[in-house]
């Protein structure tokens, strides 16, 4: 009888869903084999620079309970993963969009570090989240869609979209010109030709804060229910692709940037150390914080990393999780990481293809 009751309790707990997720150590993956470069000279050396990821899992009540008896588990509430009103069913799409943005930023940051002068071209407002319920969701807007027009107005940025919607009365019928995104199972994003979606705006929520956009002041009169970011593109001197199937999020940015610099330059960037890195990257080489640093530290140690670059703000977390054989270095910029590698015996990167 007692065993039967216990089994019944376990069964019930397995079917009770919580609002919590677990972060556990994932994989430390060498980036170089994932990279394909055409139109630029590359170095065939096999220096190892690894990205680190974590496993993010939604938890039933039973999984939540048993996870407390496991090592290297971090618990995260759903409210910490998405903006207010954004459903958690968008997490995968958001992660793949973040990875797509991170790849582009890594390519630009790497080429700029090697001497190329690359200029951003504004390309629209990219949807990073859709509130449920909302006019945008009802009209079929999704994460990664790119809005390039509102009625007869061309949209080149997130603030351009906000400024076009801001003065309209609630209930206004708006024709959005949208390049719809398709995200396949591996996380690869492609965009179709722009087409028109018709949306009827709603009254803006009373708790909505300021957009911070120039020329947009006072409360919004109309609301679509999306979170937008600036869409940008760059004319690169060659073709670069990084195959990151099933990996989402922006935290591989620094590792991808270092790998691209290493492949596009003479000598050895790493001084033949086994290097791992985590941290976001922007096109100007700034390194930003990420989640799950303790779990990523465990993952890179298991993979044999000797040097681990982390965002400087998260250095204490990584140091607390590291064993004595791993040297952890905190950085705020790509330039700092390059200087640290040089101090460890790495070569100063010199582009194999002369920048133009």
Q: Cα dihedral angle (31, 33, 36, 42), rounded to 10 degrees? A: 90
Counting residues of the chain whose pLDDT is more than 90, the rounded percentage is 78
Closest CA to 156 of 205, 217, 57, 228: 228
Sign of CA dihedral 160, 162, 166, 170: positive
The pLDDT assigned to 90 comes to 94
- Higher pLDDT: 210 or 340? It is 340
- Give CA–CA dist 230/60, Å, rounded: 37
**3-state SS class at 69:** coil
The pLDDT assigned to 5 comes to 74
Query: For the segment 21-71, what is each residue's pLDDT rounded down to a tens digit?
Result: 998 999 999 999 999 999 999 998 778 999 999 998 898 887 888 888 888
Query: For the segment 270-311, what is each residue's pLDDT rounded down to a tens digit?
Result: 999 999 999 999 999 999 999 999 999 999 999 999 999 999
pLDDT at 92 over 70: yes
Phi-psi region of 140 (alpha: psi -120 to 50; beta: other; left: phi over 0): left
Q: Cα dihedral angle (323, 326, 329, 335), rounded to 10 degrees? A: -160
Burial readout 30-55 (b: 16 or more C-beta within 10 A, e: otherwise):
bbbebbebeebebbeeebbbbbbbbe
Counting residues of the chain whose pLDDT is more than 70, the rounded percentage is 97
Q: Which CATH number fits domain 22-82+99-116+237-343: 1.25.40.10, 3.30.450.20, 3.40.1190.20, 3.30.230.10?
A: 3.30.230.10
DSSP 8-state secondary structure symbol assigned to residue 85: T
pLDDT at 212 over 60: yes
Q: What is the mean pLDDT of residues 253-260?
A: 98
Q: What is the DSSP string of 208-275?
A: ------TT--S--S-B--EEEEEEEE---SSEEEE--TT--SSTTHHHHHHHHHHHHBSS-SSTT--E
Q: What is the mean pLDDT of residues 188-216?
A: 90
Angle of the 334-343 helix axis to the 91-113 helix axis, nearest 10: 60
Assigned fold of 121-233: Pdz3 Domain (2.30.42)
Q: What is the pTM of this model?
A: 0.94
Query: For the segment 110-149, what is each residue's pLDDT rounded down to a tens digit?
Result: 999 999 999 999 999 999 999 999 999 999 999 999 999 9
Q: Between the ranges 11-15, 53-57, 338-342, where is the mean pLDDT highest?
A: 338-342
The encoded tokens of residue 44 equal 């065939």
Residue labelled with tokens 């922007």: 282
Locate CATH 2.30.42.10 in the chain: 121-233
Mean pLDDT for all residues in the chain: 93
Locate CATH 3.30.230.10 in the chain: 22-82+99-116+237-343
The pLDDT assigned to 7 comes to 67
Q: Taking a C-beta distance cutoff of 8 angstroms, is the pair 265, 43 a contact?
A: yes
Closest CA to 170 of 208, 127, 196, 124: 208
pLDDT at 10 over 80: no
pLDDT at 208 over 80: no
The pLDDT assigned to 9 comes to 62
pLDDT at 163 over 60: yes
Q: Taking a C-beta distance cutoff of 8 angstroms, is the pair 159, 213 a contact?
A: yes
The encoded tokens of residue 89 equal 């069913």
Q: What is the mean pLDDT of residues 185-189?
A: 95
Range in 201-205, 206-210, 298-302, 335-339 the model is least confident about: 206-210
The pLDDT assigned to 1 comes to 55
pLDDT at 13 over 70: no
Cβ atoms within 10 Å, residue 344: 16
pLDDT at 210 over 80: no
């Amino acid at each position: 009888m007692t065993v039967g009751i216990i089994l019944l309790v376990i069964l019930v707990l397995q079917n009770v869903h919580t609002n919590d997720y677990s972060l556990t150590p994932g994989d430390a993956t060498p980036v170089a084999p994932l990279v394909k470069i055409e139109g630029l000279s590359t170095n065939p050396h096999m220096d190892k620079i690894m990205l680190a990821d974590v496993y993010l899992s939604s938890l039933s009540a039973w999984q939540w309970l048993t996870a407390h008896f496991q090592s290297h588990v971090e618990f995260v509430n759903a409210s910490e993963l998405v903006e207010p009103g954004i459903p958690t069913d968008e997490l995968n799409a958001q992660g793949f969009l973040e990875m797509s943005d991170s790849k582009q930023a890594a390519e630009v940051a790497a080429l700029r570090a090697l001497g190329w002068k690359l200029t951003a071209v504004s390309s629209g407002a990219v949807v990073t989240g859709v509130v449920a319920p909302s006019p945008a969701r009802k009209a079929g807007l999704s994460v990664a869609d790119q809005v390039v027009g509102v009625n007869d107005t061309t949209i080149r940025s997130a603030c351009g979209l906000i400024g076009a919607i801001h003065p309209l009365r609630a209930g206004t019928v708006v024709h959005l010109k949208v390049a719809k995104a398709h995200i396949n199972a591996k996380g690869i994003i492609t965009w179709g030709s722009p087409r028109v979606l018709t949306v009827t705006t709603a009254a803006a929520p009373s708790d909505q804060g300021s957009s911070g956009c120039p020329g947009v002041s006072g409360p919004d009169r109309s609301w679509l229910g999306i979170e937008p970011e600036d869409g940008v593109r760059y004319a690169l001197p060659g073709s670069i692709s990084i195959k990151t199937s099933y990996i989402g999020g922006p935290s591989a940015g620094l590792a991808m940037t270092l790998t691209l610099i290493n492949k596009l330059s003479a000598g050895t960037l790493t001084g033949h150390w086994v290097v791992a890195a985590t941290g976001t990257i922007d096109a100007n080489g700034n390194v930003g914080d990420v989640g799950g640093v303790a779990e990523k530290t465990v993952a890179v140690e298991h993979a044999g990393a000797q040097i681990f670059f982390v965002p400087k703000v998260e250095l204490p977390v990584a140091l607390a999780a590291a064993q004595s054989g791993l040297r952890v270095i905190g950085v705020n910029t790509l330039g700092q990481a390059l200087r640290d590698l040089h101090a460890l015996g790495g070569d100063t990167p010199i582009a194999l293809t002369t920048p133009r």
